Structure formats: structure tokens, C-alpha cells
Amino acid sequence: MDIGKEIRIARKAKGLTLEALANQVDTDTGNLSRLERGKQGASQELLKRIMDVLDLRISTINPSEGSAVGSLLGGAVGFMVPAIGGIVGALIDKANSTPGVKQPKIATPRPYPVLEWSLIYKWFSDPSSIDLDDIDDWLLTVQPAGDYAFWVKVKGDAMASYTAPSFPSGSMILVRPIEAAKSGSFCLVKLPDSDEITFKQYVEDAGVRYLRSLNAGYRSIEIDDRYKIIGIVIDTKMTGL
């Protein structure tokens, strides 16, 4: 596990700059930046302060499994998960401390960046070309989305419907980058001879492929290999409610 990456993701999810976090944990931005990029380790004391500020927790694992965290802690081995409070947290703590009690499987929320439409194809082509520090908004999901998923805000009413599923303008969709899709999947597709990305339902019927809007006021588009599927939608949410 890349502990530096996890710290960076959690920091961005909290809306903290490197300088703000460094001030809160009593270190300098250079040390924190190198920690996030995996260029240096951290003392247990500093790492604990970072955990507290970012609401992260260190849990012990089998040393034989190996972990980047071990080197960062100077030999202590563990992994980071968001701190879980309330009844669920109490149940996990009890399961961990009671012999013979199997630990419940809890889906851990993970933050992903919210991208502008203009950045989507660049991200799909090479995620490392985008500086995560330039991305201000992050949203959480418990869906298994991989390392390169992203959120984007729906524009227009083409994918809005009076019945479920519906993706009205302003709703957020979580996209997992992928180059193929099954019929019925909701996809982001790059249009031919253009940098424009569209959000539609991918449909195959009698060997013919279409991009379909959920809004009946929009016509379906027959497509060929010039249209490039770049991701499928695996989660959605409305914000600001």
C-alpha cells in the first residue's frame, strides 16, 4: 500500500492544503510533501498526529504480508483506514478484541477527485499528468472503483428520466475508466474527431451499437469504432440537498 498516496487523498478530501496540514501537525511542507510522494518516512509521533487530523487509523496486520507502512514507521507494520465511529466502530473494536469473534466486513469509503469535463480525456490517457493538488473537490464512495476512478457533474437533461435510473443536471456520477462496456451500461464516450465527451447509455441490438439518452426528447446515436468508450458509471449522488 502507498501510505503517502493515502495521506494525500485523505488530506484533499478534508480540503486541506499541504501548508494547512503541516501547520496542524507541527512539521514543514517539504517533509509532508516528500512523505506523500514516498520520498521519505515519518516518525511514529508525526504519523499519529497526521492520523488524528485526517481521521485515519492504523491497524495491525501480519508482518509477513509486507507493507510500505512498515518502512515509514521504522518497523511497525500496519495499514490505514478511515476512522469509524459510533456503533459500527464499537462492533469492530469488540470483534478485534474478542477471541473467536470474526471481524465484520465493513466497506470503507474512499475519496475520488471531481474532474472538470475538459480534463476527463487527459485523465483517461494519463492520470499522472494531472496534479492532484490542483483538484479542490473530492467525493466519497464505498463502491470498488480502483485507483483511477473520478467523479464528474452531469450537464444538461439528456440523461434525466421520470423513472429510475435518472441522472438530472447537477448530479454527480462516479466513473471507472474502462475501454469496453456491456449493453445497458451507462458510459462516458469520446466523440470522433473531437475532444468532446458525452454521457449516454450504451446499447447493442442485433449487432448494431447505439448511444441512448434516458430523456425521450433526444434521439439515439448509432456508433462505430470511431467512438471511444472511456469509462462506465458505477455510482451516483445528488449534492447540495
What pLDDT is recorded for position 157?
A: 96
pLDDT tens for residues 146-185? 889 999 999 999 999 999 999 999 999 999 999 889 999 9
What is 172-190 written as a DSSP string? EEEEEE-S---TT-EEEEE
What pLDDT is recorded for position 62?
A: 36
Grid coordinates representing 203 are: 446499447
pLDDT in tens, the chain (241 residues): 467 888 888 888 888 888 889 999 999 888 888 888 888 888 888 888 898 898 876 543 333 333 344 344 433 334 344 443 443 344 344 445 556 656 556 667 888 999 999 999 999 999 888 988 788 888 889 888 988 999 999 999 999 999 999 999 999 999 999 988 999 999 999 999 998 999 999 999 999 999 999 999 999 999 999 999 999 999 999 865 5
CA–CA distance, 227 with 224 (Å, rounded to integer): 6
Q: Is the peptide bond prior to 165 cis by the omega test (within 30 degrees of 0)? A: yes
What pLDDT is recorded for position 174?
A: 97
The overall average pLDDT reported for the chain is 80
Grid coordinates representing 157 are: 437533461
Residue 206 burial (10 A CB sphere; 0-12, 13-18, 19+): exposed
Alpha helices in the chain (DSSP H): 3-13, 18-24, 29-36, 44-54, 68-72, 86-97, 120-125
Grid coordinates representing 156 are: 444538461
Residue 194 burial (10 A CB sphere; 0-12, 13-18, 19+): exposed
Grid coordinates representing 136 are: 479542490
Query: Can you list the domains of the chain with their CATH numbers?
Result: 3-54 (1.10.260.40), 110-238 (2.10.109.10)
What pLDDT is recorded for position 189?
A: 97
Q: How far is CA 34 from CA 18, 29, 76, 78, in A?
A: 11, 9, 20, 20
What pLDDT is recorded for position 114?
A: 94
